[in-house]
Amino acid sequence: MTLQQWADNGWLEPHVTSPEEIANLLAIVDRDLADAGGGISPDWRLGIAYNAALKLCTILLYAEGYRAARTLQHYRTIQALPLILGPEHRADADYLDACRKKRNIVEYDYVGGATEDEASELASYVLELREKVLAWLKENHPPLLNLK
């Protein structure tokens, strides 16, 4: 499927972004990555790192002129990753979806569901994804990286 087909299905809505909005989202990513390295529980570290990953996927959607509709918002934002960066990123979307599910469990159901290794792995992954997103923005939407 394409993003346009998703929009036709009502899964995405049009969205016009700006360099300021992208900069603010990147600032959230950087804050969350710094916080995820702190002396807090693995559950919270995983949740914070997940939030950073979600913001990076949001940046991709916004840059393409869309935002996820309210129903299944996190899921659709993550699943758009390979539609934007390419099908070779399907495994990335699957990984982030598994993190989404784990984050929901540790936030709403019980304590201790995330391990130190899982939280650290996700934080490391987000650092790599951040670089990919920035490179993609530079190549595909350079004006969004130019703040005045």
For residue 33, being part of any structural domain is answered with: yes
Domain count, the chain: 1
Show the domain range for 98: 18-142
84 contacts 3 by C-beta, under 8 angstroms: yes
Distance CA 77, CA 66 (A): 10
pTM of the predicted model as reported, rounded to 2 decimal places: 0.90
Residue 36 vs residue 88, higher pLDDT: 88
Looking at residue 38, what is its pLDDT? 74
Place of tokens 């987000």: 126
**62 within domain boundaries:** yes
pLDDT higher than threshold 80 for residue 55: yes
pLDDT at 106: 92
Q: Is 10 domain-assigned?
A: no
Q: Is residue 69 part of a domain?
A: yes
Q: Identify whether 59 is part of a domain.
A: yes
- pLDDT score at 36: 85
**pLDDT tens digits for 123-133?**
999 999 999 99
Cβ 127 vs Cβ 33: under 8 Å: yes
Please check the confidence at residue 144 and state whether its pLDDT lies above 80. yes
φ/ψ of residue 67, rounded to 5:
-140, 150
Q: How confident is the model at residue 41 (pLDDT cuts 50, 70, 90)?
A: very high
Q: Does 137 reside within a domain?
A: yes
Q: How many CB atoms lie within 10 A of CB 55?
A: 22
Instruction: Give domain status of residue 49, yes or no.
Output: yes
CATH of the domain at 83: 1.20.120.330
CA-only gyration radius of the chain, Å: 15
